[in-house]
Amino acid sequence: MEGLVHTPLVSIMPSSSAAAAATAAPARQRGRPRTTEAEEARKAKRAEAQRRRRALDWEYRAKEAEAKRQKRAEDPEYRAKEAEAKRQNRAEHPEYRAADNEAKRQKRNEDAQLRAREAEMRRLQRQSDPEMRAREAEVKRLKRSEDAELRAREAELRRLQRQSDPEMRAREAEVK
């Protein structure tokens, strides 16, 4: 912090810096000399080192790639070209189609497993809720009674049909 004068309440910059900062004139008009080639080289070297560091930084690369993808995705012409290139590539390489099919199959399986887990969670939740259990028991009881009535009607229809059919009556008489 060379050049700063500290007072108990505020920091005061030297007047020459304050004057330079206050003016909106370009640096050369403020008396700054032109940058030398050595300074330019140092600046370029620093910039290159920063680019290399960023290239090695996977998070930065991922962010940059995502930004590029986003920008491309917004361009309809680019999307159309990309889709056509993919179609052509898939037509030329059947192994890609197999990989795509496998990926789709995998996604379907994952979705099915997720739905099964959700259904299981709902079932467990229903089992733990006494009102829900009572409602389900009532529904099951009603369904059983409806099924019993339906079976009784069907049995009655079969009995009436057997009575009206002479062949059936003859067979039943033989059995007795």
Report the C-alpha gap between 147 and 137 in whole angstroms. Answer: 15
Residue type, 156: E
- Which residues, including other chains, have CB under 8 Å from residue 17's CB and lie 6 or more apart? 3
Q: Any idea where the domains of the chain sit in the sequence? A: 37-74, 78-128, 129-160
Residue type, 126: R
Residue entry with tokens 């909106």: 24
Name the pTM for this structure. Answer: 0.26
One pLDDT digit (tens) per residue for the chain, 176 residues: 455 555 555 455 445 555 555 555 666 677 777 878 889 999 999 999 988 888 778 788 888 889 888 887 788 888 888 889 888 887 787 777 777 788 889 999 999 999 999 988 888 877 777 887 888 889 999 999 999 999 999 999 988 888 888 887 777 788 87
